[in-house]
Amino acid sequence: MASAETGLAASIVSDARFRGYSLSEGRPVGTFDFAYDNASGFYAGLSASGVLRRGGHPAPFALQGDGGYAKRLASGTTVDVGITHTTYSHYSSGERGTSLTEIYAGVARGAVSSRLSMSPHYFEPGRWTAYGEVNASVSPARNWSLDGHAGMLVTLSAPSTESYRPDFDWSVGVSRALGRVSLHASWSDGVPGGDFYNRRRHSRSALVLGASVAL
């Protein structure tokens, strides 16, 4: 029988950024993550997060679940397919609760990975999208890592007649491991193609600080 591993972690970030946009209006978000990995390649995860509202009052933010299958080939390349679903409360930056479901397929080799995600309702019923991304991570020194990300979102079809340009985002970050604790800092930016996430204006450029601990 294949063995399995489980993990639990807690983290906090100064701003919940998603593909170059803030979903928490620049407010801190804390998250608990549970992960399950089976030696056969199947995996699943669940995370719950809360946001610190104006005035310092905590509130529910999002609940996310995902599952998939990863296979390491003889060449050293890892292929990955899965599905993820996230439900956001009305305490996120939107005026009401919303959700996002995506199916994805990815390839990883060495320090570089890529993924293509498809959604049948990207924060709005009837909005079909495709999102392609490339990620890289290197370790220049012990307990240090440098990370880079670039992505492009394309609207395939929408419930309205409004046209949308491709939406680009990118980020660079650095992490420092201190035992079970990891400290993070990243800078994100992008070129907007449409405001899919909320009706409030916000800057695409942001510095995000965070910390996580393995429980």
- Residues 54-111 pLDDT 10s: 778 899 999 999 999 999 999 999 999 999 999 999 876 555 678 899 999 999 999 9
Alpha helices in 53-199 (DSSP H): none
Over residues 160-179, mean pLDDT: 90
| β pairing state of 144-157 and 128-138 | antiparallel
- Helix (DSSP H) and strand (DSSP E) numbers for the chain: 0, 14
- By CB atoms closer than 10 A (0-12, 13-18, 19+), residue 129 is buried
Domain with 112 in it: 4-214
pTM of the model: 0.92
CATH code of the domain containing 89: 2.40.160.40
Least confident of 94-103, 163-172, 176-185: 94-103
- Give the H or E element holding residue 3: none
pLDDT tens digit sequence for 98-147: 889 999 999 999 999 999 999 998 988 888 999 999 999 999 999 999 99
CB neighbourhood size of 190 (10 A): 20
Total domains, the chain: 1
| pLDDT tens readout for residues 25-63 | 889 999 999 999 999 999 999 999 999 987 788 999 999
Query: At which residue do the structure tokens 């990955």 appear?
Result: 80
Sequence length of the chain is 215
- Reference 21, options 137, 112, 122; nearest CA is 122
CA nearest 118: which of 99, 131, 134? 131
